[in-house]
């Protein structure tokens, strides 16, 4: 029957097509639906599964054939309202087939709908708008992700989801800029379902390459019109979810689940372009979407070395870092130039500090390839240099809470540690930050290995000194110095105290070179530092302008000098510190 219509469709009038549709094609679809329903009933004869499967296979042939006919009719009779009306009626019938929730049937239905929509040039006329709304109703209510796979090969839902996403492509083309906000929300929700509920095909690995469904989902997001400001946060939130999806999954020891690693990296690129292209959009909460994006990207950054697999370069944490920096570098000038810059916006700065902390931190014990650490250290140093330009001195703004500045300083302090300190030298919960420097304990004589990221540690040590140093005396610089000063004193104090407690127990054994190098470096920096006058409270009975840090460390320096009587180089360096204190007193 289909072959007859196919061969003569261009010779039939619209009236003839309408008669054929109403008297033949509709009857075929109705008969199939009726028989399928009967095969599932209690009075069905034979094997229920076989009967149902048979009618599903017949439905596939019928739906595909009729869709081909309609695509030809639409091509031959472009814009004819009668043919459009028949398409609307056909889509109503397709609803019954989608309700079977069978993958191969759903695949055929959406393939047919796509083929028909492809022949519709636009949705300007009322008739075409009705057709588009009918197609939209089919699409939004019948995501095949959860439909059953009744095929013998059990190939999963990839083909059906691909057809479903091809249909969305045509819908977005026809909707153009007329897509409503509520429809956008529905599309983004269904796209995530497609990704999360898609089944991995045999012999496929999505670590280095996305699955077809994942790729089409990203293309679908790109195609969504962003003509109103309310849509942009929805797009960003959706992309954030895809970028972090890999890190929400439980590990699968058999490796059968999808990893979403390639999808995560691709989503990061999309996130970057999406935000940057809308920086100047009127009415957009730029601070809000940047904060959400940066918080999402902080997740893979903080999982550096802890997350496997990573796939081919760039690693997820490296890709997330470059994306976050790209977004911040592009958006911060616009944010600071807007009226929001003078308002309280701690959520953005908390996000930025989280990124900074993820850059400078690394659980190198979890790194499976130690050769990567020096290379990654170099890239992290470059990353930190970039984010520091964004942070300093703006982080000292009065609109940013002191707690955020302290988090930044604390992160710099922790990751500047070159040799692991004695646990008793660090303050316990509820104690003051410097309380551990006043404790006593038995020293250590074992060699402490330096951090594999010593170059980063020294860079952060310099950053601590720079934060406390006097600059231009601006309120921003003063706030930064006040936040960092306690951590600088603690950082120098830990090194001095370790020498005081450990070195006497070594006898004539020299101090390990890496520890000696660190201590000499810190002593030199302490002498050279002119600290911000308002950063450190004056010690009781002592007046000083730029050397208050030395007064706070003076007792430890004296004790270290007594322990260094066999090491002339160390004694000389410590004596210079005492001389600097004397010079400050004018003696």
Q: Which residue has the higher pLDDT, 82 or 299?
A: 299
Query: At a CB cut-off of 8 Å and minimum separation 6, what does 291 contact?
Result: 347, 348, 350, 351
SS3 446: coil
User: At 205, is the pLDDT very low, low, confident or very high (cuts 50, 70, 90)?
Assistant: confident
Angle at the Cα of 121 from the Cα atoms of 119 and 127, rounded to 5 degrees: 95
Among the listed residues 225, 415, 246, 243, the one whose alpha carbon sits nearest the alpha carbon of residue 323: 243
Model confidence over 44-89: pLDDT tens digits?
Answer: 555 556 667 777 888 888 889 888 888 888 878 877 888 888 888 9
Q: Give the global pTM.
A: 0.89
What pLDDT shows up at residue 311?
A: 82
User: At 1, is the pLDDT very low, low, confident or very high (cuts 50, 70, 90)?
Assistant: very low
| Contact by Cβ (8 Å): 530, 470 | yes
The tokens of 207 are what? Answer: 């670590």
What pLDDT shows up at residue 256?
A: 52
**253: how many CB neighbours lie within 10 A of its CB?**
5
The label of the residue with tokens 């944010």 reads 335
pLDDT over 70 at 202, yes or no: no
Residue 79 backbone class (left: φ over 0; alpha: ψ -120 to 50; beta: rest): left
Mean pLDDT (whole number) for 407-434: 93
454-487 in b/e burial notation, b at 16+ Cβ within 10 A? eebbbbbbebbbbbbbbbeeeebbbbbbbbbbbb
In the chain, pLDDT over 90 holds for what percent of residues? 57
pLDDT over 80 at 36, yes or no: no
What pLDDT shows up at residue 4?
A: 46
Mean pLDDT (whole number) for 535-553: 83
Q: What is the mean pLDDT of the chain?
A: 88
Lowest mean pLDDT among 5-14, 111-120, 161-170: 5-14
SS3 443: coil
pLDDT over 60 at 284, yes or no: yes
Q: Which residue has the higher pLDDT, 325 or 446?
A: 325
Question: Around 231, how many Cα atoms within 13 Å sit in the side-chain half-sphere?
Answer: 22
Q: Which helix (H) or strand (E) holds 506?
A: none
Select, from the ranges 14-23, 27-36, 299-308, the one with the highest average predicted confidence (pLDDT): 299-308
User: At 274, is the pLDDT very low, low, confident or very high (cuts 50, 70, 90)?
Assistant: very high
Residue 536 backbone class (left: φ over 0; alpha: ψ -120 to 50; beta: rest): beta
pLDDT over 50 at 531, yes or no: yes
In the chain, pLDDT over 70 holds for what percent of residues? 90
pLDDT over 90 at 451, yes or no: yes
What pLDDT shows up at residue 506?
A: 86
Among the listed residues 232, 239, 312, the one whose alpha carbon sits nearest the alpha carbon of residue 270: 239
What pLDDT shows up at residue 569?
A: 94
What pLDDT shows up at residue 439?
A: 86
User: At 526, is the pLDDT very low, low, confident or very high (cuts 50, 70, 90)?
Assistant: very high
Among the listed residues 127, 128, 122, 90, the one whose alpha carbon sits nearest the alpha carbon of residue 109: 90
What pLDDT shows up at residue 544?
A: 77
What pLDDT shows up at residue 26?
A: 83
User: At 41, is the pLDDT very low, low, confident or very high (cuts 50, 70, 90)?
Assistant: low
Q: Which residue has the higher pLDDT, 497 or 1?
A: 497
pLDDT over 50 at 353, yes or no: yes
Lowest mean pLDDT among 6-10, 189-193, 267-271: 6-10
Select, from the ranges 15-29, 150-164, 397-411, the one with the highest average predicted confidence (pLDDT): 397-411
The tokens of 569 are what? Answer: 């180089």
Among the listed residues 100, 72, 74, the one whose alpha carbon sits nearest the alpha carbon of residue 88: 74
Instruction: Determine the Cα–Cα distance for residues 573 and 560; give it in Å rounded to an integer.
Output: 11
Instruction: Determine the Cα–Cα distance for residues 571 and 523; give it in Å rounded to an integer.
Output: 11
| Contact by Cβ (8 Å): 380, 456 | yes
The tokens of 356 are what? Answer: 């900074």
What pLDDT shows up at residue 9?
A: 53
SS3 102: strand
- By residue count, the chain amounts to 587
pLDDT over 90 at 586, yes or no: no
What pLDDT shows up at residue 40?
A: 64
Mean pLDDT (whole number) for 357-370: 92
Mean pLDDT (whole number) for 259-280: 94
What pLDDT shows up at residue 257?
A: 76
Instruction: Determine the Cα–Cα distance for residues 380 and 386; give it in Å rounded to an integer.
Output: 10
Mean pLDDT (whole number) for 379-393: 96
What pLDDT shows up at residue 161?
A: 96
User: At 18, is the pLDDT very low, low, confident or very high (cuts 50, 70, 90)?
Assistant: confident
Q: How much of the chain is in helix, strand and coil states, percent to nearest 5? A: 70, 0, 30
Residue 148 bridge partners (DSSP): 102
What pLDDT shows up at residue 253?
A: 41
Among the listed residues 277, 200, 191, 194, the one whose alpha carbon sits nearest the alpha carbon of residue 239: 191
Question: Around 216, how many Cα atoms within 13 Å sit in the side-chain half-sphere?
Answer: 23
Backbone angles phi, psi at 198, to 5 degrees: -70, 145
């Amino acid at each position: 029957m289909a072959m007859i219509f196919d061969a003569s469709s261009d010779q039939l009038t619209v009236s003839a097509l309408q008669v054929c549709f109403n008297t033949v094609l509709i009857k075929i679809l109705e008969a199939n639906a009726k028989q399928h329903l009967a095969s599932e009933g209690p009075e069905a004869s034979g094997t229920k599964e076989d009967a149902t499967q048979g009618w599903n296979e017949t439905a596939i042939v019928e739906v595909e054939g009729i869709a081909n006919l309609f695509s030809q009719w639409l091509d031959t009779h472009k814009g004819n309202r009668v043919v459009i009306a028949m398409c609307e009626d056909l889509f109503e019938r397709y609803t019954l087939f989608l309700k079977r929730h069978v993958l191969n049937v759903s695949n055929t239905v959406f393939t047919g709908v796509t083929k028909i929509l492809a022949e519709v040039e636009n949705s300007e006329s009322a008739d075409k708008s009705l057709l588009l709304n009918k197609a939209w109703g089919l699409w939004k209510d019948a995501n095949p992700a959860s439909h059953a796979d009744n095929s013998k090969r059990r190939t999963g839902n990839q083909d059906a989801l691909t057809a479903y996403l091809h249909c969305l492509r045509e819908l977005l083309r026809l909707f153009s800029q007329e897509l409503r906000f509520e429809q956008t929300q529905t599309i983004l929700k269904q796209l995530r379902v497609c990704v999360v509920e898609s089944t991995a095909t045999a012999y496929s690995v999505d670590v280095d390459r996305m699955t077809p469904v994942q790729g089409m989902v990203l293309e679908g997001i790109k195609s969504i019109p962003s003509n109103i400001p309310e849509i942009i946060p929805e797009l960003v939130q959706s992309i954030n979810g895809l970028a972090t999806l890999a890190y929400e999954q439980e590990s699968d020891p058999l490796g059968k689940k999808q990893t979403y690693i390639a999808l995560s990296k691709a989503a990061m690129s999309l996130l970057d372009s999406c935000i940057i292209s809308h920086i100047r959009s009127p009415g957009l909460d730029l601070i809000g979407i940047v904060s959400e994006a940066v918080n999402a990207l902080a997740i893979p950054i903080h999982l550096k070395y802890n997350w496997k697999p990573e796939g081919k370069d760039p690693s997820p944490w490296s890709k997330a870092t470059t994306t976050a920096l790209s977004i911040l570098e592009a958006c911060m000038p616009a944010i600071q130039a807007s009226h929001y810059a003078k308002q309280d916006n701690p959520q953005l700065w908390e996000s930025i500090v989280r990124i900074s902390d993820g850059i400078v931190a690394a659980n190198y014990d979890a790194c499976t390839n130690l050769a990567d650490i020096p290379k990654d250290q170099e890239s992290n140093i470059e990353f930190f240099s970039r984010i520091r330009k964004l942070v300093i001195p703006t982080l000292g703004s009065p609109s940013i809470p002191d707690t955020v500045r302290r988090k930044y300083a604390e992160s710099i302090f922790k990751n500047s540690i070159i040799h692991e300190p004695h646990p008793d030298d660090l303050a316990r919960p509820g104690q003051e930050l410097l309380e551990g420097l006043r404790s006593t304990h038995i020293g250590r004589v074992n060699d402490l290995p330096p951090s594999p990221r010593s170059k980063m540690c020294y860079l952060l040590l310099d950053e601590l000194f720079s934060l406390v140093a006097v600059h231009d005396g601006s309120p921003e610089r003063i706030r930064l110095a006040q936040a960092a000063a306690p951590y600088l004193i603690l950082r120098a104090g830990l090194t001095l105290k370790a020498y005081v407690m450990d070195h006497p127990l070594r006898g004539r054994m020299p101090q390990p070179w890496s520890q000696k190098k660190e201590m000499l470096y810190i002593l030199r920096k302490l002498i050279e530092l002119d600290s911000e006058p308002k950063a450190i409270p004056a010690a009781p009975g002592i007046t000083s302008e730029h050397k208050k840090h030395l007064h706070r460390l003076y007792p430890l320096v004296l004790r270290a000098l007594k322990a260094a009587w066999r090491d002339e180089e160390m004694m000389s360096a410590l004596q210079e510190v005492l001389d600097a204190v004397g010079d400050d007193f004018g003696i």
